[in-house]
Amino acid sequence: MIEHYDPRRQANSVDFSKDYGTPSPYPGAATVNLEIDGVSISVPEGTSVLRAAALADINIPKLCATDSLEPFGSCRLCAVQVEGRRGFPASCTTPVVEGMKVTTQNERLAKLRRNVMELYISDHPLDCLTCPANGDCELQDMAGSVGLREVRYGFTGENHLDAVKDESNPYFTFDPSKCILCSRCVRACDEVQGTFALTIDGRGFESKVSAGQNDAFMDSDCVSCGACVQACPTATLMEKSVIDHGVPDRSVVTTCAYCGVGCSFEAQMKGDQLVRMVPYKGGDANHGHSCVKGRFAFGYTTHPDRLTTPMIRDSIDQPWREVSWEEAITFAANRLKAIQAEHGRESIGGITSSRCTNEETYLVQKLIRAAFGNNNTDTCARVCHSPTGYGLKTTLGESAGTQTFDSVMKADAIIVIGANPTDAHPVFGSMMRKRLRQGAKLIVADPRRIDLLKTPHLGEAQHLPLRPGTNVALVNALGHVVVTEDLEDKAFVAKRCDTEAYNRWREFIAEPRHSPEASEAITGVPAEAVRQAARTYATAGNGAIYYGLGVTEHSQGSTMVMGIANLALATGNIGREGVGVNPLRGQNNVQGSCDMGSFPHELPGYQHVADPIARGRFESVWGVKLDDEPGLRIPNMFDAAIEGTFKALYVQGEDIAQSDPNTQHVEAALTSLDCLIVQDIFLNETAKFAHVLLPGSSFLEKNGTFTNAERRINRVRKVTAPVAGKEDWQVTQDLANALGYPMHYTHPSEIMDEIAQLTPSFTGVSYAKLEERGSLQWPCNAEYPLGMPTMHEVEFPIGLGRFAITEYVATEERANRRFPLLLTTGRILSQYNVGAQTRRTDNQRWHDEDMLELHPSDAELRGVRDGDWLGITSRSGQTVLRARLSERMQPGVVYTTFHHPGSGANVITTDNSDWATNCPEYKVTAVQVEKVSQPSAWQQRFSAFDLAQRDYLAKAQQEAP
């Protein structure tokens, strides 16, 4: 029995470790009163008898039922007797009825259950003592529960005991000899994950679970989410890590450190060994579901590449020297002080990370503002969602998504623009697919035909395959149809929006130049398709918009975010469940890193540095005078470094050398620095240019909080000790103290208390409340003590919603004869961001190289075949990737991922950026493509530099005492 640490169990009497057999009905149902074994019970209408009994701690034996799946009624183990009814109905498929009287235990039921179990066991290996699931097997539990003592049918008849094991998946095995054909795996894949990779193949005795057309799991459509493994009541589907290490005996609830969905997991341990990550049913973002990354790809945390000792060197062409924490911190602080003494206060800065916790991020920006004495702080959100901050703040008054993830279950029409949820936000993608299967209409605006459009059992769906860089023209055309076809929600606009701004926008958007017919030449999307999409969204009832980096990473990223907000305001699709404007944040804590004051112009809580009242509050708590001028953004830091005025940089948990655009420019900037301090768990690409290397702690090694894409603050709990002895916040604190600015926190909860003291939207947040509630969605303050799931229900933070004028301006990055193709970039499911974590796991099996996808017609024109080496040249540089021909692309558009540093995807992306926020235009790069036979000049330089730096590290580690 696993001992669970679950704070809410104590607070709310909810036991997320218990399986109640069938799902709970939707909230709000009427109450039904019944009697089970003489106990009076009241439950919501729609509850099954099995669940009602379990809620009263009357545990009816069951096998095919589990509370994450709809009841199926196949095993008959859960049979009960109901007064006034004939026979023995299955309690999992029998709903409660007012006045019902149920008996769950008597001799006839006991005999019936023993008979059922006997049949199962007669075709099941009796190797319980050596089975990896021993102690964690529902079949074993049920055999005990029904009192099975003998198997009359013997084990000599026809059976499946010799069935061959499928070990193709790197993370779990499938041993059909142990299968009881309960279908839980098949139903989990259909209902929870939405992939439909499994079937029950054959009939009668020949029936068996099959992946695809009797394929190995790895060759099927399986995306390795783990839902079937989770659902399997036997050892048929079993994590390899449990086979290796044994059944865990304790667990800690924490939050996934990959994407912005922010799934909660139980880190299940045996002693100090992390055995498996199991999605936590009590997780408010994921409700017990997971994807391959969070569920299985945690091996990087114990990878031999982990940095475990601080290191220093005078210049980047020298070997590293392993030193104590004290020596490294003193070395870093002395260098920073010396540089400021020689080059001025503004000559140094720092970059926070969207992978680190809120508390760590808060502390880094505090270090910069209070100890460095300037506002030269920025974050990787600069290169992803900074236009969301600007665009939503301008129109709706708050820099955040408006909904919960659950809200999608009430959407009637869903627009997805420039996002790929099934790959980049997989657990939310599964939820969205569920709603689409229930009949919600789908509109996808994307240059590529993303997998969401291939959702099994998808109803009405439209793809608007626009040309990269033309988002604003498309959103204006949608707005034009809404206005000119009288599809507006006039009552909402009159009540909730600024009339003057609305009238200005209405006049602008109604101009014929914004019509779908006029825009078709720009976007390439047929006018009628745009008209149809606008009508669907505006008239569906609840229209919800989800968008990603395909919106923000453009020269008009901020304009497009405002265009999306305009559309939602005009149709009244804001301020209730099922609607809204929802940025899908890429990394685990992008929302949090923005909230925590990482940007150079904003203190935590988006309070402008020039605001004397806000600044004064920080000055009095921090005990220093703060600069009232915004500091440098990341691109400005790079330019200033090359010019020679910016000399030192502290980077925590971010790999700017790989993730920022125009790699050669970034490399030139990093090489120009006199002191680069990198704090990371690996020698990443940026660290190869560093003078001080401070080992970071992984998410399993620290306490803190992450804030996901729905503004949900989730606890991160320490599972194991930090491999280098310190949590990241402690390292930042040490650096501050060495610089002469005192910091004396003893636990991240104290940092959160300070955040709450200084940030109006966080005043009600504390670790104690997070323990009690599980999670909180900000704003959480005196007005909303339990947080705010849906924003803008009554009014906007700026009072009235403000329509913005969104003039389409074509990007300067255009295709021409020299660069005739447009390159756009994205992610895939198995890898995460720059790949530093997932490349050090078995996820490599799915994607061990970035490739260039191009349409067969573009390939034919150039004589390119699948797998050929292609030189890709832009105005910024050249790189070489292998070709993958794909009908998903439209002719003229090519696509690649950026998960492998040697691919050099960002060598070719340009310096173009969003006019308001400098967010790089990753999504549009004009390129030429030609067949080549060797790596690019940059790739050859990269390999040589990489080799030298790895060598320096290896030598330092060998020479260490």
Binding site for ligand FES (CB under 6 A): 62-65, 73-78, 90, 92
8 A C-beta contact, residue 931 and residue 870: yes
> Which does residue 62 bind out of ligand FES, ligand SF4, none, counting CB within 5 to 8 angstroms by kind?
ligand FES
Partners of 823 in the β-ladder: 894, 925
- Other Cβ atoms less than 10 A from the Cβ of 629: the count is 11
> Which does residue 179 bind out of ligand FES, ligand SF4, none, counting CB within 5 to 8 angstroms by kind?
ligand SF4
Which CB, 117 or 927, lies closer to ligand FES? 117
> Which does residue 426 bind out of ligand FES, ligand SF4, none, counting CB within 5 to 8 angstroms by kind?
ligand SF4
Q: Which residue has the tokens 């402008």?
A: 608
8 A C-beta contact, residue 943 and residue 910: no
> Which does residue 236 bind out of ligand FES, ligand SF4, none, counting CB within 5 to 8 angstroms by kind?
ligand SF4
8 A C-beta contact, residue 926 and residue 397: no
> Which does residue 637 bind out of ligand SF4, ligand FES, none, counting CB within 5 to 8 angstroms by kind?
none
Tokens linked to 291: 């994807």
Within 13 Å of residue 402, how many CA atoms lie on the same side as its CB? 32
Residue 271's region, left for phi above 0, alpha for psi from -120 to 50, else beta, is left
Tokens linked to 449: 């035909």
The contact mask relative to ligand SF4 for 382-421 (x = CB under 6 A, - = no) is: ----------------------------------------
Q: Is 427 in the site for ligand SF4 (CB under 6 A)?
A: yes
Partners of 826 in the β-ladder: 897
Question: Smallest gap, in angstroms, from Cβ of residue 356 to ligand SF4?
Answer: 15
DSSP 772-823: HHSEEESP-SSSSTT--SSSSSS-BTTBSB----------S----SSS-EEE
> Which does residue 579 bind out of ligand FES, ligand SF4, none, counting CB within 5 to 8 angstroms by kind?
none
Return the SS3 of 667. helix
> Which does residue 78 bind out of ligand SF4, ligand FES, none, counting CB within 5 to 8 angstroms by kind?
ligand FES
Q: Is 47 in the site for ligand SF4 (CB under 6 A)?
A: no
Question: Smallest gap, in angstroms, from Cβ of residue 165 to ligand SF4?
Answer: 12
Size of the site for ligand SF4 (CB under 6 A): 40
Question: Smallest gap, in angstroms, from Cβ of residue 18 to ligand SF4?
Answer: 19
Considering only the stretches 157-165, 283-291, 359-367, 546-554, report the one whose residues sit in contact with ligand SF4 under the rule CB under 6 A: 283-291
8 A C-beta contact, residue 237 and residue 217: no
Which CB, 78 or 634, lies closer to ligand FES? 78
> Which does residue 802 bind out of ligand FES, ligand SF4, none, counting CB within 5 to 8 angstroms by kind?
none
Which CB, 23 or 350, lies closer to ligand FES? 23
> Which does residue 185 bind out of ligand SF4, ligand FES, none, counting CB within 5 to 8 angstroms by kind?
ligand SF4
Binders of ligand SF4 among residues 237 to 266 (CB under 6 A) are 237, 256, 258-259, 261-263
Q: Which residue has the tokens 């259909």?
A: 190
Q: Is 209 in the site for ligand SF4 (CB under 6 A)?
A: yes
Binders of ligand SF4 among residues 158 to 197 (CB under 6 A) are 179-185, 188-189, 193, 195, 197
Which member of 48, 234, 598, 662 binds ligand SF4 (CB under 6 A)? Answer: 234
Which CB, 77 or 143, lies closer to ligand FES? 77
Which member of 89, 389, 426, 563 binds ligand SF4 (CB under 6 A)? Answer: 426
Which CB, 519 or 714, lies closer to ligand SF4? 714
**Cα–Cα nearest to 353, from 587, 183, 534, 43:** 587
Question: Smallest gap, in angstroms, from Cβ of residue 176 to ligand SF4?
Answer: 7
CA distance 631 to 354: 19
Which CB, 775 or 925, lies closer to ligand SF4? 775
395: Cα separation from own chain's centroid: 26
CA distance 463 to 474: 13
- What torsion do the CA atoms of 931, 829, 652, 921 make, to the nearest 10 degrees? 50
Residue 902's Cβ-count burial label (10 Å; 0-12, 13-18, 19+) is: middle
- Other Cβ atoms less than 10 A from the Cβ of 520: the count is 17
Question: Smallest gap, in angstroms, from Cβ of residue 189 to ligand FES?
Answer: 18
Residue 279's Cβ-count burial label (10 Å; 0-12, 13-18, 19+) is: buried
> Which does residue 696 bind out of ligand FES, ligand SF4, none, counting CB within 5 to 8 angstroms by kind?
none
> Which does residue 765 bind out of ligand SF4, ligand FES, none, counting CB within 5 to 8 angstroms by kind?
none
Which CB, 116 or 738, lies closer to ligand FES? 116
Q: Which residue's Cβ has the minimum distance to ligand SF4? A: 294
The contact mask relative to ligand SF4 for 287-306 (x = CB under 6 A, - = no) is: ---xx-xx------------
Question: Smallest gap, in angstroms, from Cβ of residue 413 to ligand SF4?
Answer: 24
Tokens linked to 775: 């999670």
Question: Smallest gap, in angstroms, from Cβ of residue 584 to ligand SF4?
Answer: 10
CA distance 21 to 43: 14
8 A C-beta contact, residue 46 and residue 25: yes
Tokens linked to 280: 């936590």
Which CB, 425 or 839, lies closer to ligand SF4? 425
CA distance 931 to 911: 26
End-to-end Cα, the chain, rounded Å: 44
8 A C-beta contact, residue 931 and residue 864: yes
Tokens linked to 204: 């009668």
CA distance 172 to 303: 20
> Which does residue 77 bind out of ligand FES, ligand SF4, none, counting CB within 5 to 8 angstroms by kind?
ligand FES
* Site residues (vs ligand SF4, CB under 6 A): 179-185, 188-189, 193, 195, 197-198, 209, 222-228, 231-232, 234, 236-237, 256, 258-259, 261-263, 286, 290-291, 293-294, 425-427
